[in-house]
Homo-oligomer: A and B are copies of this chain.
Amino acid sequence: MTKNDPLQIQDFLPYLLNRAAETTSLDFQKTYKDRYGMLRTEWRVLFHLGRYGGLTAKQICSMADLHKTKVSRAVSALERQRFLVRTEVPTDRRNELLSLTKQGQAAFDHLQQEATRYNENLLTTFTAEEQEILRRCLKKMARIP
**Chain A interfacial positions (CB closer than 8 Å to B):** 6-25, 27-28, 44, 47-48, 51, 64-65, 112, 115-116, 118-119, 122-123, 125-126, 129-130, 133-144
Contacts and interface: CB of A to CB of B under 8 A. Distances in A.
Nearest to A129: B133
A143 B23 contact: yes
Contacts of A19: 65, 138, 142, 144
A9 B133 CA distance: 17
Contacts of A28: 14
Nearest to A117: B7
Closest 10 CB pairs of A and B: A19-B142, A17-B21, A20-B142, A21-B21, A14-B24, A20-B141, A18-B21, A16-B138, A7-B116, A14-B25
A24 B144 CA distance: 13
